[in-house]
Amino acid sequence: MIRRYTAIAAGATLALSLAACGGEGAGSGSADEGSESGGGGGEGGTVGVAMPTQTSERWIADGNAVEAGLTEAGYDVDLQFANDDIPTQSQQIDQMITNGADALVIAAIDGTALSSQLDAAAAAGIPVISYDRLIRDSENVDFYVTFDNYNVGVQQATALLVGLGILNEDGSEGDAEGPFNIELFAGSLDDNNAHFFWDGAMDTLQPYMDDGTLEVPSGQTDIEQAATLRWQQETAQRRMEDLLTSTYSDGTELHGVLSPYDGLSRGIITALRSDGMGDTIEDGLPIVSGQDAEIASVKLINDGVQHSTIFKDTRKLADQAVVTVEAYMADEEAEANDTESYDNGVKVVPSFLLESDIVYQDNITELLIDSEYWTQEEVESGVAE
């Protein structure tokens, strides 16, 4: 996807004039884990950008988009990926501060593990922008750019209800009455977003669980039981396999699975297919939700295997991060549209929230291809070019 990030630079000046406008493209890149990238120009100073991993194409997309926007704005950029290793990310941020970063954009692996780095940044007068994952338990977080993560959870649950026929895509009541058996998956407990996703989803599903329309045969309805450490696909696959053995080996039918991330969804689907539950939804595969519109999962949706995903246009999030950096570097107040929701345990962090969309098979073209997030060829192949 490097060709797309080259295209970002040409339009980044326009992007900076808007709070949340689209950039160009998304997908995977080819930098090595932990590698350092120098930006161009550097007239405005140096910005350290700390991303959690390159095992997810989503985070590669974010890192590259933020770097491209900041470079076009005249900053040197120190972009680092930490391979989902907390000590590595801590060391990378320490080095950014030592090297004289003027601002930090951080997508934390563990939102509670960076207190000493944030203290050092504050002592050096370096503003810290928390990127998509809220950094917790520190007063030294200046701003938060993210999506409306509670609503993302609502959308994930809504998509599951649509897949089961309980709701129609327009939100009206569907014809299906149930009862339907579902299982619940959550993200990594050290990621603050996982809790927002879970709360939004459970608030949406709970009325249907209370009236018996939905049932969870395993009884695992607490986030601690449903959590998936580090959002690992293999961990989700193993848990789904265990659930199938413990709860469904007697012939109990499974109708749907709430999954909060496409990587988990693919692990869950692998387990379901291996258990003989069907290859596609049409021939009996349970409904599985997702998030991030990763190209491998978009292909599965297009092929009728995965039911849905949530499209969070990370180009817009990257643009908003650049706008926010610009404000702090100019000693101006960054624009926030939420000053109440994101309490990190020490302070309510001013935030800018972006909206997301549910992707179904019938709106892939409208949401993902027409917006040039993915091409038709990529959707059909499941591989980013």
Distance CA(171)–CA(356), nearest Å, equals: 16
Task: Report yes or no: 355 and 316 within 8 Å, Cβ to Cβ.
Answer: no
Residue ranges covered by each domain of the chain: 2-141+313-354, 149-311+377-381
Supply the pTM of this predicted model: 0.84
Q: What is the pLDDT of residue 44?
A: 82
Tell me whether domains 2-141+313-354 and 149-311+377-381 share a fold: yes
Q: What is the pLDDT of residue 99?
A: 97
Q: What angle do CA 380, 283, 263 make, to 5 degrees?
A: 50
Q: What is the pLDDT of residue 57?
A: 84
pLDDT, tens only, 273-314: 999 999 999 999 999 999 999 999 999 999 999 999 999 999
**Amino acid making up residue 107:** A
- Regarding the domain delimited by 2-141+313-354, which CATH topology (the fold level of the hierarchy) does it fall under? Rossmann fold (3.40.50)
Q: What is the pLDDT of residue 43?
A: 62
Query: Of the candidates 291, 289, 10, which has an alpha carbon nearest to the alpha carbon of residue 160?
Result: 289
- The per-residue b/e assignment along 190-210, b for 16 or more CB within 10 angstroms, e otherwise, is bbbbbbbbbebbbebbeebbe
Joined together, the tokens standing for residue 200 give: 């939004």
Place of tokens 């960076």: 114
Per CATH, the homologous superfamily of domain 149-311+377-381 is Response regulator (3.40.50.2300)
Instruction: Locate the DSSP E strands across the chain.
Output: 45-51, 75-81, 103-106, 128-131, 143-147, 180-184, 214-215, 256-258, 287-288, 309-311, 351-354, 357-359
Joined together, the tokens standing for residue 33 give: 């884990």
Instruction: List, run by run, the mean pLDDT of 10-residue segments along the chain (385 residues).
Output: 33 33 32 40 81 91 96 97 96 98 97 96 98 96 97 98 97 95 97 96 98 98 97 98 98 98 98 97 98 97 98 96 97 96 96 98 98 97 94
Q: What is the pLDDT of residue 5?
A: 35
